[in-house]
Amino acid sequence: MELMGVIGGLRALPPKSTVTVYSDSEYVVRGFPEWLPNWVNHGWPSRVKNLDLWKLLLSEVSRHKRVSFRHVKGHSGDYYNELADKAAGEQTKLQRRLL
């Protein structure tokens, strides 16, 4: 879900934006700059989990002027991280009611 959140956020922005993605997900924050270039250079190895989402993220990032990633510690009092966590929890509850 962390990848989907970033993909959705980048999609919502106008093209050629300069963006800093803040996330408590090391999977996203480390994955894009550290792992993804290797995957691309090696032809997207089949062992890559969430391959379709990583490809979507790469596509969305390419629409922008600059995208950087910053890690914030989860549940540490960071206002925006707490706000995002609360919104995600509310959406989860809503989705469960709809099922």
CATH number at residue 52: 3.30.420.10
pLDDT classification of 37: cutoffs 50, 70, 90? very high
Q: Quick one: tokens of 96?
A: 């469960």
| Residue 98 clears pLDDT 90, i.e. is over it | no
Number of folded domains that form the chain = 1
Q: Which domain holds residue 65?
A: 2-98
- Identify the band that residue 81 occupies on the pLDDT scale cut at 50, 70 and 90: confident
Residue whose tokens read 């002027």: 65
Residues contacting 28, CB < 8 A, separation 6+ = 2, 3, 6, 21, 69
Q: What is the pLDDT of residues 45-79, one digit of tens each?
A: 888 899 999 999 999 999 999 999 999 887 777 78
